[in-house]
Amino acid sequence: MAEGKTAIITGITGQDGSYLAELLLAKGYNVFGLVRRTSQPTQGRNLINHLMENECFHLVNGDLTDQSSIDNAVKEIQPDEFYNLGAQSFVPESWRSPTMTADVTGLGALRCLEAIKLVKPDCKFYQAGSSEQFGDVREIPQTELTPFYPRSPYGCAKVFAYDITRNYRESYGLFACTGILFNHESPRRGLEFVTRKVTMTVARIAEGLDEFLSIGNVKAKRDWGFAGDYVEMQWRMLQQDEPEDFVIATGETNSVQDMIGLAFKRVGMTLTWTGEGVDTIASDQDGITRVKTNPKFFRPAEVDLLIGDCSLAAEKLGWTPTTSFEQLVNIMVDSDVKVVKEALSNGQLPPVPPA
Ligand code: NAP
Ligand code: F7E
């Protein structure tokens, strides 16, 4: 064990969990990651394999749907800080599995707060909030004061988690806060999310494995940033003197169509778009259709436009995004081209985004 602080991270096997663990270890923390038991030992998407030899990095079994496992982890570890990043985080899945999403993503936060309240009330708590809480946005851009209007069971679960975090802060004096984070991406993003689905498919097309990208609503607009920057803000929120909720965003919005155009541009293809709605397609400079719309990727209720106002975080946390939107897309495309090439040269099948 290092002499520094001790932190628990739920969602350690996910995109943010892996970046946050790296950050805290570099700051001298002892990091305990909560992992779900599976029938076969696994480190999930292999994002934390490189940390397993670090003597300050530990995994502990637990599940956000199981109060005892969270209580036991807090009792045994006695953390100074607790980052609740675990969630069923894929929005379309939240319509297919709404009660599971409410249980993990909503009640999971309450279970963490209960454990802290009863066992270690001086432990600081970070809740991973989401711009999906704004949903059908009530104002543009969205700030910490913008009312919520979630559009999915996932968004509703995150609103509950936000409310209960504030309530435990006000009721019990816990240092508990929510970061309302807008979309953040990286080469570690799950393959089902739109940016990574696009960059992996573009890489496969560039290597001649696929012919076109099958996509949903390309008109939706998001405020996309780089995940590595965002976990630094999670940590900074817990270093404040007083707990406070913050919006973390870039302040720039782009459409899914813009994102796809940049990704194809990175591999030397220029797209021309035609059609509207489910008839939207895009062809490359040689007239080959490279993007087709599939209605199955449309959602029962869409979040059309997100753009955050991060002035409060800029003022109090010193927040400035380091990576532009185009840089982010280029980083992700280059990484996926490398992944595909390496797999092919090793005689392996490259990853395929879920259909
Ligand atoms: P992610 O890659 O989907 O990771 C989710 C993590 O939650 C995984 O480690 C997963 O473990 C874990 N998990 C799922 N169900 C669990 C359960 N029942 N008990 C314990 N752990 C469970 O998500 P992310 O992109 O890193 O996002 C981190 C957090 O920020 C999430 O809460 C997400 O909702 C929120 N958020 C993300 C964004 C974004 O743009 N990335 C924006 C705003 C908010 P397995 O490996 O076992 O599945
Ligand atoms: O979709 C559209 C889709 O799944 C973005 C999660 O991390 O960020 C994420 O939620 C947009 C939507 O992310 C496809 O309709 C079009 O408008 O990448 P996404 P999300 O739903 O914004 C928030 C902040 C979170 O908190 C969540 O946990 O892209 N879209 N065609 C598509 N989306 C997907 N996934 N696949 C498509 O084929």
Q: How confident is the model at residue 45 (pLDDT cuts 50, 70, 90)?
A: confident
| Residues 274 and 336 placed together within one structural domain of the fold | yes
| Residues 134 and 268 placed together within one structural domain of the fold | no
Verify whether ligand 2 is closer than 6 Å to residue 220 (CB atom).
yes
Q: Model confidence over 155-165: pLDDT tens digits? A: 999 999 999 99
Q: Model confidence over 160-181: pLDDT tens digits? A: 999 999 999 999 999 999 999 9
Q: Which letter, b or e, does each residue of 74-108 get, where b requires 16 or more Cβ atoms within 10 Å of its Cβ?
A: beebebbbbbbbbbbbebebbeeebeebbbbbbbb
| Residues 99 and 31 placed together within one structural domain of the fold | yes
CATH number at residue 294: 3.90.25.10
What is the C-alpha to C-alpha distance for residues 125 and 106, in angstroms, rounded to an integer? 15
| Identity of residue 202 | V
| Residues 199 and 177 placed together within one structural domain of the fold | no
User: Domain range holding 272?
Assistant: 194-222+255-304+325-345
Judge whether 121 and 80 are in contact, CB under 8 Å. Answer: no
pLDDT at 43 exceeding the cut of 80? no
Q: How confident is the model at residue 187 (pLDDT cuts 50, 70, 90)?
A: very high
CATH number at residue 130: 3.40.50.720
Specify the residue for token string 């707060």: 113
Report the nearest atom of ligand 2 relative to the CA of 130: 26
Report the nearest atom of ligand 2 relative to the CA of 158: 26
| Residues 122 and 200 placed together within one structural domain of the fold | no
Tell me which H or E stretch contains 163: helix 153-172
184 CB contacts (<8 Å, ≥6 apart)? Answer: 16, 224, 225, 226, 227, 229, 230
- Is residue 352 one of the residues assigned to a domain? no
| Residues 76 and 13 placed together within one structural domain of the fold | yes
Q: Model confidence over 304-340: pLDDT tens digits? A: 999 999 999 999 999 999 999 999 999 999 999 999 9
- Is residue 316 one of the residues assigned to a domain? no
pLDDT (average), residues 18-36: 98
Mutate to test the pocket of ligand 2, among 15, 95, 193, 278 (most ligand atoms within 8 A of CB): 193
- Is residue 289 one of the residues assigned to a domain? yes
Arithmetic mean of pLDDT over the chain? 97
pLDDT at 290 exceeding the cut of 90? yes
Q: How confident is the model at residue 39 (pLDDT cuts 50, 70, 90)?
A: confident
pLDDT at 239 exceeding the cut of 90? yes
pLDDT at 40: 78
pLDDT at 78: 98
Distance 65 CA to ligand 2 centre (A): 24
